[in-house]
A = this chain, B = another copy of it.
Amino acid sequence: MERIPEKHAFRGKAACIAVGSELLGDAKLDLNSLEITQTLETYGFNVVEKRVVGDSVERIAASIRELMNGCEVVIVTGGLGPTADDVTREGVALALARELFFDPEVEVWLQERYQRVGRTMPEIGRSMAMVVEDSEIIRNTAGSAPGILVEEDGRLLAVFPGVPWEMRSMVESHLKARLEQRYDGSIRRSRTLLMGGVVESEVEGRIRHLYDRFGRDNVTILASFGVLRLVLTATGAEAQVEQDLDRMEEAFREILGDDVAGIDIPGLAHVVIPALVDSDKTLATAESCTGGLVGAALTNVSGSSDAYMGGVVSYSNQAKEEMVGVPHEILVEHGAVSEPVVRAMAEEIRKRFGTDWGLGVTGIAGPSGGTDEKPVGLVHWAVAGPDGVVARHRVFPGDREIVRQWSVNVVLDLLRRQLLVGAK
């Protein structure tokens, strides 16, 4: 449990509010907060909450009040435009119990801005010249609606337009300087250990005793269909933070060993491709249930063409026979989703492409096609290399998309581990 101290508990904490009813539907997401979070973390702020609120003065005001209570920095985006549903200015004024008044100087800026793009400011544009008492107005160099900066009780409230490039330009021109002033030299930085072929609760059991040593809040486990990310975080002066992260990484690696595939990389393909390139080896793939996802993951790594020669998506049995070279008898006897077939896929694709390594995966991704003996989620995978073939299988939980994602990760992890054996 987090302790709430009486005083200064708001220091170093930050929150984001995105305003706009369109961000509450099922089609559009608030992405501004991702960029703002990056900036906040660079200056050592810890984002403790994010909100999306509709175009309601009361809701905007309540959120600003609630978050300014517990945070040093609150960033609001959106709702500053000229139309009737743009009510963020009113929300800010209500939250701070300040007046809104018309600023003729801002109106002149706005008129100039419209003229520059060859238009006349519409009457409704005047609403953007309403300013909050005792606030700093940020002139919008990338659009029209001005931004707002308010300092109160040691807090900073920054209000930017929702248009990404307008927001971005104000973050650069105004927010960073204000955060810099508050910067106490303490930053917050993370390092992510990517793991393959492990189960969350098992890993948790192995590393649990390290929580006390490094702090429970500094270690987060994220599981995602065959890969696990262990996020280590440290806060402090820049030089100290890197040392702390080195110490943490060392301690976790000591326990997790080869289960750690890499550091700060997006996925297992980003380990496999460099490992192949460094050892001057090549790879080909034969995919069934993944339908090309393994190839897509591998070729998502820039420079993959030095190691990945290509593959066959053998969705039909005919393709497995003719394009990959799986013997007809094996297919008939064992069925397309079986260990003998996946072994043949890995071996034969290796031969066809003349590569050092070959990889095969076949399974029943669902929702249909399952039987009692071979249920939906059953996947066989194999890796063929200089020393023979290794095959595995498992029944994965989840829907079609998830079974496919699991399949990609387990086959890449098996290849990763075989490459490690080869390198030792």
Question: Cα distance A70–B295 when bound, in Å?
Answer: 49
Q: Smallest CB–CB gap between A317 and chain B, Å?
A: 10
Residue among B27, B289, B309 making CB contact with A220, cutoff 8 Å: B27
Residues on B with beta carbons closer than 8 Å to the beta carbon of A199: 119
Chief secondary structure at chain A's binding surface: mixed
Tell me if B205 and A401 are in contact (CB < 8 A): no
Question: Cα distance A217–B22 when bound, in Å?
Answer: 9
Question: Cα distance A264–B214 when bound, in Å?
Answer: 48
Question: Nearest chain-B residue to A1 (Cβ)?
Answer: B57
Chain A interface category by residue count: 35 or more
Tell me if A26 and B38 are in contact (CB < 8 A): yes
Selected interface stretch from A83-91, A173-181, A234-242, A255-263: A83-91
Question: Cα distance A87–B52 when bound, in Å?
Answer: 23
Instruction: Please provide the chain A residues from 24 to 44 with a CB less than 8 Å away from any CB of chain B in the complex.
Output: 24-29, 31, 34-35, 37-38, 41
Decide yes or no whether A308 CB sits under 8 A from chain B.
yes
Decide yes or no whether A402 CB sits under 8 A from chain B.
yes
Residues on B with beta carbons closer than 8 Å to the beta carbon of A216: 84-85
Tell me if A315 and B305 are in contact (CB < 8 A): yes
Tell me if A221 and B401 are in contact (CB < 8 A): no
Instruction: Please provide the chain A residues from 260 to 310 with a CB less than 8 Å away from any CB of chain B in the complex.
Output: 285, 287, 289-296, 298-300, 302-305, 308-310
Residues on B with beta carbons closer than 8 Å to the beta carbon of A62: 66
Tell me if B56 and A122 are in contact (CB < 8 A): no
Selected interface stretch from A131-139, A380-388, A392-400, A409-417: A392-400
Which 6 residue pairs spanning A and B have beta carbons closest together? A291-B299, A292-B292, A292-B295, A310-B319, A310-B315, A292-B296
